[in-house]
């Protein structure tokens, strides 16, 4: 059984349990960025940073979300290789240039 989940309004979170033929699937939580907890601190330079993992109640994945204004050039250069971690960037809106290891 497949079921498409949609909030009834852009700002409403939706939590449901879906029953398949053979098993129950875990709760599915859908939230907009504006429903997630925001991080604030001295690093704020016009962007919105969201604690996605904490806001969605996850524990086995690392994930945050960031909303950057147009022409924003303050994303800090950093590397997670020392921690044996990888990063995934998924643009949801707009466009930009991604620089990694000296390439764009």
User: What is the residue extent of each domain of the chain?
Assistant: 14-72
Mean pLDDT of 77-98: 80
Q: Which residues pair with 39 in a beta bridge?
A: 49
Taking only the tens place, the pLDDT of each residue in 52-61 is 888 888 888 8
Closest CA to 88 of 33, 80, 96: 80
Q: pTM score > 0.75 for this model?
A: no
> Taking CA 62 as the corner, what is the angle to CA 48 and CA 102, rounded to the nearest 5 degrees?
75
Taking only the tens place, the pLDDT of each residue in 25-82 is 567 788 888 899 998 877 778 888 888 888 888 888 888 888 888 888 888 777 777 8
Q: How far apart are CA 86 and CA 95, in angstroms?
A: 22
| C-beta of residue 67 within 8 angstroms of C-beta of residue 47 | yes
- Count of CB atoms situated within 10 Å of the CB of 36: 20
């Amino acid at each position: 059984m497949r079921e498409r989940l949609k909030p009834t309004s852009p700002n409403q979170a939706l939590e449901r349990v879906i029953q398949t033929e053979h098993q129950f699937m875990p709760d599915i939580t859908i939230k907009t960025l504006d429903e997630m907890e925001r991080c604030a601190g001295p690093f704020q330079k016009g962007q919105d940073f969201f604690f996605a993992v904490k806001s969605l109640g996850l524990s086995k994945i690392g994930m945050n979300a960031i909303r950057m204004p147009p022409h924003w050039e303050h994303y800090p250069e950093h590397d997670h290789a020392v921690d044996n971690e990888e990063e995934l960037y998924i643009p949801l809106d707009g466009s930009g240039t991604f620089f990694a290891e000296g390439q764009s």
